[in-house]
Amino acid sequence: MEERFARQYILLHPDDCEPPHGLDLEPGGRDALKVEVLEAAFRYTGFDPDEPALVGYPLAGKVQLLTGTHRHTAAKRAGIYLPVRLVLRSLVEAHWGTNYWDRLCKDVPVKELEMAMVLPGDEPPGIDERVDIAKDMT
């Protein structure tokens, strides 16, 4: 199957994203320390472009994330926007639970992607299932 993954990302407010699962954030919980470390890094330096963008797809007016629950929570606490690489919902539904899933959610560092500009007040761009975006893929 041909690769059809976007090589762009958009910056989204964490409130515009739904994380893929919950976290154990109780003091001493398994996820609490990781989120605290990420939050401190985000407050100090922002989102590191050497780190992978989150992956998600448009769903019901938000972006359903497939990756990045810890980064989502830390960014929300730090008050920063998240770099999110959008994929087609049809790809998510077609490849859930298959060997192709890992390639769909592949970690791609932000610095290897191109930012799709969203001006203040504009609606974040979604992916229209009717548009063939293969020309934008590498």
Q: What is the DSSP string of the chain?
A: -----BSEEEEE-GGGEE-SS----STT-TTHHHHHHHHHHHHHH-S-TTSBPEEEEEETTEEEESS-HHHHHHHHHHT--EEEEE--HHHHHHHTTSTTHHHHT---BGGGSEE----TTSPPP---TTS--GGGB-
Q: How confident is the model at residue 30, as a pLDDT?
A: 77
Question: Which pTM was predicted?
Answer: 0.77
Using 50 as the pLDDT threshold, list the residues of the chain that sit under it.
Answer: 1-2, 4, 127-138
Q: How confident is the model at residue 81, as a pLDDT?
A: 93
Q: How confident is the model at residue 82, as a pLDDT?
A: 93
Q: What is the CATH number of domain 8-136?
A: 3.90.1530.10
pLDDT tens for 83-118 read 998 888 888 888 788 887 787 788 888 888 888 765
| Residue extents of the structural domains in the chain | 8-136
Contact 17, 57 (CB under 8 A): no
